[in-house]
Amino acid sequence: MEQHILQELRTIVPEERMFVDLAERYSYSYDASFGEYLPEAVVQPLNAGEVCRIVKLAGKHRIPLYPRGAATSLSGGPLPVEGGIVLDMTRFAHKLIIDRENLLAIVSPGVITADIHKKAEEVGLFYPPDPSSSHVSTIGGNISENSSGPKGLKYGTTKEYVIGLEVVTPLGDLIRTGGKTVKNVTGYDLTRLIVGSEGTLGIVTEMILRLIPKPKARMTLLATFDRLQDSGHAITKILSSGILPAAMELMDNACIRAVEQFEPCGLPVDKEALILVEVDGHPAAIEEEIRQCEAICYEQGASQVRVAKDEREREELWRARKMVSPAITQMGPTKISEDATVPRSKIPDMMERLNQIRSKYQLNLVVFGHAGDGNLHPNIITDKRNKEEMKRAEEAVGEIFAAAVELGGTLSGEHGIGTLKAPYMEMELGEAGLSMMKKIKEAWDPYNIMNPGKIFPRPGQIKVVLT
Amino acid sequence: MEQHILQELRTIVPEERMFVDLAERYSYSYDASFGEYLPEAVVQPLNAGEVCRIVKLAGKHRIPLYPRGAATSLSGGPLPVEGGIVLDMTRFAHKLIIDRENLLAIVSPGVITADIHKKAEEVGLFYPPDPSSSHVSTIGGNISENSSGPKGLKYGTTKEYVIGLEVVTPLGDLIRTGGKTVKNVTGYDLTRLIVGSEGTLGIVTEMILRLIPKPKARMTLLATFDRLQDSGHAITKILSSGILPAAMELMDNACIRAVEQFEPCGLPVDKEALILVEVDGHPAAIEEEIRQCEAICYEQGASQVRVAKDEREREELWRARKMVSPAITQMGPTKISEDATVPRSKIPDMMERLNQIRSKYQLNLVVFGHAGDGNLHPNIITDKRNKEEMKRAEEAVGEIFAAAVELGGTLSGEHGIGTLKAPYMEMELGEAGLSMMKKIKEAWDPYNIMNPGKIFPRPGQIKVVLT
């Protein structure tokens, strides 16, 4: 970046919040996905005014801007793939107001999601979205990617809880979308357009989140199955019985074995699948519901069902699920974490397809996920230095996407498209569908400075390149 | 419209589904709002293929297109304000499939909303959005306007239940947005952009709706208050007590009197307000909740609280609320029905402002609405032949909007902008905010053929004209 531009940048943010040294820039070159890309400069804005001025400067000089939260993205969201300036939003965290009367939270983008959970629960309220990174990830990142997690089944995704935004547009204007009311039909829903747009349509500088009363109680069960097929049927039977669990998690045999190897906790390594079901609400209601879930699991061929008797036992059951990510990370140096999602009735079919892909490409493929909403996480454990295996992994990833789309599903349920899935967009959306998205991007961001290189494939790009 | 264009149109839809006679076109010149505008032709497409061809023809000849459902719009949504072709979508109604396993409904735009309610409930499922016109309005219209109703408080609006669309773009391409999964972050959320865009961004030809299990039971109470202020406090107290009612309706004194005059049902005409609270869910939970609501109402100064003992009594309580619209319609030939919405804690302030506006302009102003989510319906009863009174009504409407925006609310909670609120858009959104919406419209619809004259004000237009 030319010196005079850096000079101009220094008039906006002071020296101590701007980094240009290689060593400092290096820490901003990666996220939780693949690839390393060095930004030319890093700034840490503290308020919307600074962001507006940075965006205007970037527009004038046609410099790519990469907003970044805690960089836990699994799809490359914050990677500065074309250099330019990284906006580290983690220090932009001064506001976390809970408005009890209106059941709202007003939050700055750098606030950590778990802090919103905590502060809402202190006054009996509840912010449901719970990505597994919530103890480190920022709400700004969650909003950019429309993050979700186990509770998506009953409570929906981040999007369902964002009702208003303050946004710096790609032209550097500060606008407000939505507001403090749940009902709002004043023009187009820019709030929901921006949530999940992966930072390509603007930089969010404040958000208004809807909260709900905290459920009074919760109960959890863990059921093991000799046959994966049966666990799939148990899931659909529970859902069509009139129960809407707060979470419904699935682990396949490879996943069970991975966890048990990482930290033995008595999981049955010979079973094809286990499911974890949690219900929440009024104590009388959930007592009845969990018994019904237990009965359905046995009817569908569960070999064992354990219902947690208290909070301690509940945490024990969840422990197996929470060990999945660390266990998998231990299995090999490189983890390709996907989130292809299918209509929930197609989970057994998708599991079958994943088995075929595992055999065909001879890969270490572990499957777990939020089965209740069809959001599976096939993880390929590999080593990026093994070029030959990485090539097979790339082919396998392409087939996973194709299988999901063929079964009526989608490339990504909650991780986002980023750099990794961009080449497959047209497969799902068709040329006309993708073009309608591009028209919005081009109309809003004429200089293509907002997180360029994400979501939209490069011309002719038809495959993900992991190596 | 030139003869050769009509000729071309006849090659797409047969004679019996195309109307050009004045008498026939006249029935398509109005909706439930204001104004009469004659279309040049009316067609009744039956499938997406026909819609694509009609849109391409309209694009070629730059002819405005006006999609129309049951025309129950209160904001002018389907009015053919620039002539052109009306697409009557009511015969496009062949599909209403309930997918029990995936908790989905797949529906054609001409299907009546109440039929979706009925068909879902037959198999123990529930489609919550319940605009009061649901027994006649089409789901296509509901989606265009993002309609809502009393259940928005607990369950959200139409948008919260639409997860996939088939849409004919303004260029006549058929695209699919979203899909059959609740979690989907594959690119921009075009589904939610199109829902509520009032037919200005495309014509919806199929929708995938999310259903939920039907609540097991419900209980209802009606509380009367000597002071309006107290009813507002009861509402916020109930909501901050951890209860999320399915509905929470408010009627002011003018509204109580209107109903009692229309059909005496023992309402207390001397009270300033009544509220209707309904809770649903597990029988044990709601029994407890309704008693808690009752206690809160008394604590906040209710003069009387009646809890319905059975379904018959429940219907009796709701009867008062359901009589509101017919009662008001009887009060005068012209009804201006607004839906300004404020954060719920501001309801007492907004009621106060409405009282001031009533006195200042000496108008017959009746207020009721969905108080739990801040969505009020101030209705002005007047006579459009009385030019002088209509002028006062116009001024009052402008002040109602200004008050809502000042209190942190919005122009429209559920009726849409249409022709009636377009002049006030900039007041709420600012120039930059409105311009971001316009950029989408211009990028998607370069010939401005999709429902032109709606949402966006004409240059220099600063006031609604009702006369």
User: What DSSP assignment string belongs to A229-289?
Assistant: HHHHHHHHHHHHTT---SEEEEEEHHHHHHHHHHS-----TT-SEEEEEEEEE-HHHHHHH
The whole-angstrom distance between A266's CA and the closest CA on chain B is 32
The whole-angstrom distance between A307's CA and the closest CA on chain B is 21
Measure CA A136 to chain center: 13
The secondary structure of residue A71, as a DSSP letter, is -
Taking CB atoms and an 8 Å limit, are B345 and A148 in contact across chains?
Answer: no
Q: Considering only the C-alpha atoms of chain B, give the largest distance between any 2 of them, rounded to a whole number of Å.
A: 72
Helix/strand/coil for A182: coil
Q: Let me know if B306 is exposed, middle or buried by CB neighbors in 10 A (0-12, 13-18, 19+).
A: middle
- Are B381 and B328 a contacting pair, CB within 8 Å? yes
Q: How far is CA A83 from CA A27, A39, A450, A456, in A?
A: 14, 4, 12, 17
Q: Which residues pair with A88 in a beta bridge?
A: A68
Taking CB atoms and an 8 Å limit, are B281 and A284 in contact across chains?
Answer: no
Q: Which residue pairs, CB below 8 angstroms and at least 24 apart, start in B309-316? A: B314/B218, B314/B219, B314/B220, B316/B265
Helix/strand/coil for A22: helix
Give the number of A-B residue pairs with CB atoms closer than 8 Å.
265
Residue with tokens 């006062």: B392
The whole-angstrom distance between B233's CA and the closest CA on chain A is 10
Residue of B nearest to A420 (CA): B186
Residue of B nearest to A454 (CA): B187
Question: With contacts defined as CB-CB under 8 Å, which chain A residues touch B203?
Answer: none
Which residues, at least 6 apart from A362, have a Cβ–Cβ distance to it below 8 Å? A392
Residue of A nearest to B427 (CA): A186
Taking CB atoms and an 8 Å limit, are B160 and A160 in contact across chains?
Answer: yes
Q: Is the pLDDT of residue A377 over 90?
A: yes
Winning range, highest mean pLDDT, from A73-77, A412-416, B297-301, B412-416: B297-301
Secondary element (H or E) of residue A166: strand A162-168
The whole-angstrom distance between A277's CA and the closest CA on chain B is 17
Chain A interface mutation, best of B167, B188, B431, highest count of A Cβ atoms under 10 Å: B188
Taking CB atoms and an 8 Å limit, are B183 and A442 in contact across chains?
Answer: no
Phi, psi of B50 (to 5 degrees): -60, -40
Which residues, at least 6 apart from B134, have a Cβ–Cβ distance to it below 8 Å? B112, B113, B114, B117, B142, B149
Measured between alpha carbons, how far is B459 from B462 in angstroms, rounded to an integer? Answer: 9
A57 confidence band (pLDDT: 50, 70, 90): very high
Taking CB atoms and an 8 Å limit, are A285 and B284 in contact across chains?
Answer: yes
The whole-angstrom distance between B436's CA and the closest CA on chain A is 7
Helix/strand/coil (H/E/C) assignment for every residue in A382-394:
ECCCCHHHHHHHH
Residue of A nearest to B234 (CA): A101
Radius of gyration (Cα) for chain A, nearest Å?
A: 22
The whole-angstrom distance between A3's CA and the closest CA on chain B is 32
What integer pLDDT is reported at residue A417 of this predicted model? 94
What integer pLDDT is reported at residue B129 of this predicted model? 96
What integer pLDDT is reported at residue A415 of this predicted model? 93
Chain B interface mutation, best of A183, A342, A425, highest count of B Cβ atoms under 10 Å: A183
A464 confidence band (pLDDT: 50, 70, 90): low
What integer pLDDT is reported at residue A466 of this predicted model? 64
Taking CB atoms and an 8 Å limit, are B429 and A176 in contact across chains?
Answer: yes
Question: With contacts defined as CB-CB under 8 Å, which chain B residues touch A156?
Answer: 160, 182
How far is the first Cα of chain B from the last one, in angstroms, to the nearest whole number?
A: 27
Token pair, residue A326, equals 């660390």
Q: How far is CA B136 from CA A11, B106, B109, B191, B300, in A?
A: 61, 19, 13, 24, 38
Give pLDDT tens digits for A313-363. 999 999 989 899 889 988 999 999 999 899 988 998 999 999 999 999 999
Question: With contacts defined as CB-CB under 8 Å, which chain B residues touch A144?
Answer: none
Give pLDDT tens digits for A284-316. 999 999 999 999 999 999 999 999 999 999 999
Q: Which residues pair with A278 in a beta bridge?
A: A220, A247
**Could you give all domains of chain B from N- to C-terminal order, each with its CATH number?**
3-88 (3.30.43.10), 98-213 (3.30.465.10), 215-327 (3.30.70.2190)
The whole-angstrom distance between A243's CA and the closest CA on chain B is 7
Phi, psi of A157 (to 5 degrees): -100, 180
Closest by CA position to B238, among listed B179, B282, B300, B158: B300
Provide mean pLDDT across the span A174-185: 95
Taking CB atoms and an 8 Å limit, are A181 and B145 in contact across chains?
Answer: no
Helix/strand/coil for A324: helix
- Are B376 and B414 a contacting pair, CB within 8 Å? no
Closest by CA position to B61, among listed B447, B451, B445: B447
Provide mean pLDDT across the span A167-195: 97
Residue of B nearest to A147 (CA): B185
User: CA angle, A441 as apex, A438 and A446 as ends, to 5°?
Assistant: 120
Considering only the beta carbons, identify the residue of B100, B159, B341 that sits closest to A181. B341
Chain B interface mutation, best of A181, A370, A427, A450, highest count of B Cβ atoms under 10 Å: A181
Residue of A nearest to B433 (CA): A175
Helix/strand/coil for A33: coil
Measured between alpha carbons, how far is B341 from B250 in angstroms, rounded to an integer? Answer: 13
What integer pLDDT is reported at residue B420 of this predicted model? 86
Average confidence score pLDDT of chain A: 94
Closest by CA position to B137, among listed B156, B118, B114: B114
What integer pLDDT is reported at residue A35 of this predicted model? 87
Measured between alpha carbons, how far is B105 from A74 in angstroms, rounded to an integer? Answer: 32
Taking CB atoms and an 8 Å limit, are A181 and B375 in contact across chains?
Answer: yes
Q: Let me know if A62 is exposed, middle or buried by CB neighbors in 10 A (0-12, 13-18, 19+).
A: exposed
Q: How far is CA A245 from CA A153, A235, A292, A306, B293, in A?
A: 7, 10, 12, 16, 26
Helix/strand/coil for A95: coil
Taking CB atoms and an 8 Å limit, are A186 and B430 in contact across chains?
Answer: no
Q: What amino acid occupies position B80?
A: P
Taking CB atoms and an 8 Å limit, are A410 and B179 in contact across chains?
Answer: yes
Residue of B nearest to A181 (CA): B343
User: CA angle, B219 as apex, B213 and B221 as ends, to 5°?
Assistant: 145
Torsion over CA: B17, B20, B21, B22 (sign): positive
Measured between alpha carbons, how far is B371 from B348 in angstroms, rounded to an integer? Answer: 10
**A8-18: buried (b, 16+ CB within 10 Å) or exposed (e) per residue?**
ebeebbeeeeb
Chain A interface mutation, best of B122, B195, B436, highest count of A Cβ atoms under 10 Å: B436
- Are A437 and B443 a contacting pair, CB within 8 Å? no
Residue of A nearest to B237 (CA): A101
Torsion over CA: B171, B184, B128, A347 (sign): positive
Q: How far is CA B12 from CA B7, B90, B172, in A?
A: 9, 18, 13
Q: How far is CA A6 from CA A87, A450, B187, in A?
A: 14, 18, 33
Helix/strand/coil (H/E/C) assignment for every residue in A115-146:
HHHHHHHHCCEECCCCCCCCCCCEHHHHHHHC
Half-sphere exposure of B334 (CA within 13 A, CB side): 17
A34 confidence band (pLDDT: 50, 70, 90): confident
Taking CB atoms and an 8 Å limit, are B430 and A236 in contact across chains?
Answer: no
Taking CB atoms and an 8 Å limit, are B284 and A281 in contact across chains?
Answer: no
Residue of B nearest to A281 (CA): B285
Q: What is the pLDDT along chain B (467 residues), one digit of tens a residue?
A: 899 999 999 999 999 999 999 999 999 999 999 889 999 999 999 999 999 999 999 999 999 999 999 999 999 999 999 999 999 999 998 999 999 989 999 999 999 999 999 999 999 999 999 998 999 999 999 999 999 989 988 999 999 999 999 999 999 999 999 999 999 999 999 999 999 999 999 999 999 999 999 999 999 999 999 999 899 999 989 988 889 999 999 999 999 999 999 999 889 999 999 999 999 999 999 999 999 999 999 999 999 999 999 999 999 999 988 899 889 988 999 999 999 899 988 998 999 999 999 999 999 999 999 998 899 999 999 998 999 999 999 999 999 999 999 999 999 999 999 998 999 999 999 999 999 999 999 999 999 999 999 999 987 776 666 65
Helix/strand/coil (H/E/C) assignment for every residue in chain B:
CCHHHHHHHHCCCCHHHEECCHHHHHCCCCCCCCCCCCCCEEECCCCHHHHHHHHHHHHHHCCCEEEECCCCCCCCCCCCCCCCEEEECCCCCCCEEEECCCCEEEECCCCEHHHHHHHHHHCCEECCCCCCCCCCCEHHHHHHHCCCCCCHHHHCCHHHHEEEEEEECCCCCEEEEECCCCCCCCCCCHHHHHCCCCCCCCEEEEEEEECEECCCEEEEEEEEECCHHHHHHHHHHHHHCCCCCCEEEEEEHHHHHHHHHHCCCCCCCCCCEEEEEEEEECHHHHHHHHHHHHHHHHHCCEEEEEECCCHHHHHHHHHHHHCHHHHHHHHCCEEEECCCECCHHHHHHHHHHHHHHHHHHCCEEEEEEEHHHCEEEEEEEECCCCHHHHHHHHHHHHHHHHHHHHCCCECCCCCCCCCCCHHHHHHHHHHHHHHHHHHHHHHHCCCCCECCCCCCCCCCCCCCCCC
Taking CB atoms and an 8 Å limit, are B375 and A285 in contact across chains?
Answer: no
Token pair, residue B293, equals 């609501």
Considering only the beta carbons, identify the residue of A185, A189, A214 that sits closest to B414. A185
